[in-house]
Amino acid sequence: MKQISVLVENHVGSLAAVTALLKEAHVNIKAIASFDSPSYGILRMVVDAPEQAALVLQESHFAVKITDVLTVEMEDQPGALDHVFAVMAEAGIDIYYVYSFVYRLDKAPLMVLNVSDNEKARQVLKGAGIQIVEE
């Protein structure tokens, strides 16, 4: 999957400015996470139209980056996340950050992973029976 990362200032309304632009462009946010520093934050999102979202945000002078991330389907039970993390650690793959999807109705939860080696992670996760979601 593709993730968009947006550099936003840490002040009132900055997140709303991003989401308003996406709303106007009819881009649906599927997953979202915000990571902050003293003056700026990074807003990371999985959206239904990443290229369109990036273009709309760049036109409004936001710094935007599109990144490939892995999205894995999680069993809704204790230890499921530990299993994913253990598989990655055993394969020597570093996880830089992780966040979950906003909603999935009656489907299994999804977890977004940004890792050091997408292809190797894809192989070891599939080998461990962990479902990877492409879209």
- Domain assignment present for residue 134? The answer is no
Same domain, 50 and 101: no
93 shares a domain with 53? no
Q: Which has more confidence, 54 or 114?
A: 54
| Mean pLDDT of all residues in 57-83 | 92
Q: What is the pLDDT of residue 11?
A: 85
pLDDT at residue 109, as a whole number: 67
pLDDT in tens, 19-67: 999 999 999 998 898 887 778 889 999 999 999 999 999 999 999 999 9
Count of C-beta atoms within a 10 Å radius of residue 34: 16
Do 63 and 34 share a structural domain?
A: yes
Do 88 and 119 share a domain, yes or no? yes
> CA nearest 91: which of 125, 63, 40?
125
Domain end marker among 50, 67, 84 = 67
**pLDDT at residue number 3:** 95
The pTM assigned to this predicted structure is: 0.78
pLDDT for position 13: 87
SS3 category, 77: coil
Reduce the DSSP state of residue 57 to 3 states and report it: helix
pLDDT band at 95 (very low <50, low <70, confident <90, very high): very high
For the chain, give the mean pLDDT.
89
Q: Which domain holds residue 118?
A: 70-127
Kindly state the tokens that stand for 16.
């709303």
Which stretches of the chain are assigned E, i.e. beta strand? 2-9, 29-36, 40-47, 63-68, 70-73, 95-100, 110-115
132 assigned to some structural domain: no
